Structures are given as C-alpha cells and as structure tokens.
C-alpha cells in the first residue's frame, strides 16, 4: 500500500502542491496494483446504459480511490465516472477532483496495456494538477501548475524514479501526431491531414496526452466525444509540461460543465492537445 494518512490531524488540511501530487500518485499506484491483480485473471465485462463496457476493475479501483480521497481531502467533492453513471453526483465547489479509475476499458479488455488511472484536481474550471498511471507499462506521469511535469518509472514496491519532462519545440519539418486507438473518427483524420505528418501513432487512454507532454508527439486531436474524467488528468500533465488543450476554436478546454444545452453534464466538446506545435497558427499559414 503506497499511501496511508499518518494521523487524523492530516485529514482535510490544505497540502502543498508537491505533497498533494505525491499523495495522489500513491493512491493511483495502489489503484493500479488492484487493477493489475484483476487484469491477470479471467475477468468479465458488462455493458452500461451508455453502451460502454465496465469491469470489476473499474468499480473496485474507483471505490479505493474514493475512500482514499475522502481521507486525504474530505471537503473536496469528487466526480468519478462510475459514480456519475450510478447517479451519484455531489454538489460542485470551486475545487473538485475528477477521477477515471480505469481509462481505456476497451484497451483493458483487449489486454494491450494502454489503460490508465486518472486523478485530477480542478480549480475554477482549470485542471491544476493531475496524475496518470499506466500500470501495465510501469509508467506514471504527474503534473502541477507550480511543480511542472514528471515521468516516473515504477519498479516493484520501491520508490518511483522520477525525471522532469516537457513538450518539445515545434519541429521544422513534419510532426508526430497521436490519435485514439479505439475511437478514430473521419473528422480526426481530416484534421490531421491539414499538416505534414511524419508519423501517426495510435494509442489508448490518456497516454496520448502524456506522449505529447513527454515530447514523443506534437499533436493529439480528438474530434469525437469524451468526458471530463477522460481528459482532466492528462490535460493537467500536458499543461504542466508546457502544452495546452483547446477546443477546435482555440479556446482552452474547461471543466465542471453542467446543464449543457447540447450534451450531458461533464461532456467535452471536440478538442486539440498540442505541445510546442501550434496547430491553429499552422492552419492559418497553410
């Protein structure tokens, strides 16, 4: 077990950004260990009302994360995927957590390793810190508005070996784009075709944000439906690494969207994630 509150005096305190990131990383590591225990078994899946799959790993990981967050910061509400699906939506405040306990359930079912645990803190609509853990890849990414972005290699139960990471400058000739493995759309392909792309990489879950944040890719367009818990943690990591996530009209993606006239609560519009490469500037000059 990676994180346990040391005593009751630590419950509900406003931690420093570094301390909170470390605590969230510990929670994500424990959730990832639970997920991997199930991943190694002959597990089953069922279909939710929105036709998306859910497994025992999704539900048990979310229960663990919710319990730990309640001990860590009980005054901060949590919006979590499976809880929302069950109709459990707390009243939002200026600060709230967004949780996807198993992002990339289709990747989990296909056993290709491209699934993650996502935990983010949102303040006034902005994802200010986030943790993305890929337990099958032994990789964890963290990002904070003040702390910057890190990538860590997870080796057993020992300490995580972290190193700072950042987006790369815009390349002079051609870019690397990353796109959804399970949700590629015609609109996304058309968007990518606006640019000179030397390599188009398919990946699952919020690892696509992390590829841009670590300088492995320059662009991740998602012209298709996503939910806030799918994107907030990866968005936070990418912003901390020097990138940004915008809607297709160039405005920054925001969080805590309720009572939307054209979609459900917490649904995202189409978005574009980028590092040092500015797709809107390039499109204008093309």
Which residue(s) pair with 197 in the sheet? 175
How far is residue 195's CA from residue 236's CA, in Å, rounded to a whole number? 25
**Following DSSP, what letter does each residue of 175-243 receive, concatenated?**
EEEEEESS---HHHHHHHTTS-EEEEEEE-TTHHHHHHHTTS-SEEEE-S-EEHHHHHHHHHHHHHTT-
Instruction: From 227, 229, 268, 234, select the one nearest 66 (Cα to Cα).
Output: 229
Determine the average pLDDT of the residues in 154-165. 92
What is the CATH topology of the domain spanning 175-285? D-Maltodextrin-Binding Protein; domain 2 (3.40.190)
Is 230 annotated as contributing to ligand binding? Answer: yes
104 belongs to an annotated ligand binding site: yes
CA distance 41 to 263: 37
Angle between helices 56-72 and 17-39 (to 10 degrees): 160
- C-alpha distances out from residue 225 to 185, 230, 264, Å: 10, 10, 11
Burial class (CB in 10 A: 0-12, 13-18, 19+), 211: buried
The H or E element spanning position 99 is strand 95-103
Delimiting residues of CATH 3.30.540.10 domain(s) in the chain:
8-165
Tens-place pLDDT, residues 124-152: 999 999 999 999 999 999 999 999 999 99
**Does the annotation place 262 within a ligand binding site?**
no
State the pLDDT at residue 108. Answer: 94
The answer to the question of whether 102 is labelled as a binding residue is: yes
Judged against a pLDDT cut of 90, whether residue 52 lies above it is answered with no
95 beta partners: 123
Whole-prediction pTM value?
Answer: 0.93
Q: Is 275 helix (H, G, I), strand (E, B) or coil?
A: coil
Please, where in the chain does CATH 3.40.190.80 lie? Answer: 175-285
Q: How far apart are CA 179 and CA 167, in angstroms?
A: 17
Taking domain 8-165, whether its CATH number is 3.30.540.10 is answered by yes
Are 36 and 55 spatial neighbours (Cβ–Cβ below 8 Å)? no
At 283 the pLDDT is 57
What is the mean pLDDT of the segment spanning 211-234? 96
Among 51-65, 160-174, 179-193, the minimum mean pLDDT is found in 179-193
Looking at residue 156, its pLDDT comes to: 83
188 is in an annotated binding site: no
CA distances from 27 to 7, 190, 254 (A): 16, 39, 25
Answer yes or no: is 20 a known binding residue: no
- How sure is the predictor about 7, in pLDDT bands with cuts at 50, 70 and 90? very low
How far apart are the C-alpha atoms of 190 and 129, rounded to whole Å? 32
CB-CB contact of 269 with 228 (8 Å): no
Return all residues near 266 (Cβ < 8 A) that are at least 6 apart: 79, 84, 227, 228, 229, 256, 257, 258
Long-range contacts of range 252-260, CB-CB < 8 Å, 24 or more positions apart?
252/126, 254/125, 254/126, 255/98, 255/122, 255/125, 255/126, 255/127, 255/228, 256/92, 256/96, 256/122, 256/125, 256/228, 257/228, 258/92
To the question of whether residue 44 is assigned a binding role by annotation, the answer is no
Residue 163 pLDDT > 70, yes or no? yes
């Amino acid at each position: 077990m990676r994180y346990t509150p040391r005593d009751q005096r630590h419950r509900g305190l406003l931690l420093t950004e570094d301390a909170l990131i470390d605590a969230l990383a510990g929670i994500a590591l424990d959730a990832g260990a639970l997920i991997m225990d199930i991943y190694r078994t002959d597990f089953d899946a069922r279909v939710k009302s929105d036709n998306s799959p859910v497994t025992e790993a999704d539900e048990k990981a979310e229960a663990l994360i919710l319990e730990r967050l309640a001990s860590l910061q009980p005054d901060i509400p949590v919006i979590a995927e499976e809880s929302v699906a069950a109709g459990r939506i707390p009243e939002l405040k200026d600060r709230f957590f967004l949780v996807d306990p198993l992002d990339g359930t289709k990747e989990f079912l296909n056993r290709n390793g491209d699934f993650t645990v996502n935990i983010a803190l949102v303040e006034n609509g902005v994802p200010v810190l986030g943790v993305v853990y890929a337990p099958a890849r032994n990789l964890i990414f963290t990002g904070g508005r003040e702390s910057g972005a890190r990538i860590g290699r997870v080796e057993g139960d020992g300490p995580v070996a972290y190193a700072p990471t950042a987006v790369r400058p815009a390349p002079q000739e051609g870019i690397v784009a990353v796109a959804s493995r399970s949700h590629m759309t015609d609109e996304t392909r058309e968007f990518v075709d606006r640019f000179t792309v030397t390599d188009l990489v398919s990946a699952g879950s919020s690892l696509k944000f992390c590829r841009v944040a670590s300088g492995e890719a320059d662009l991740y367009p998602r012209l298709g439906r996503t939910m806030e818990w799918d994107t907030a943690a990866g968005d936070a990591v990418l912003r901390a690494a020097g990138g940004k996530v915008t809607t297709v009209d160039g405005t920054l993606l925001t969080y805590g969207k309720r009572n939307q006239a054209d979609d459900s609560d917490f649904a995202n519009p189409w978005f574009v994630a980028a590092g040092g490469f500015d797709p809107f500037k390039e499109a204008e000059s093309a």
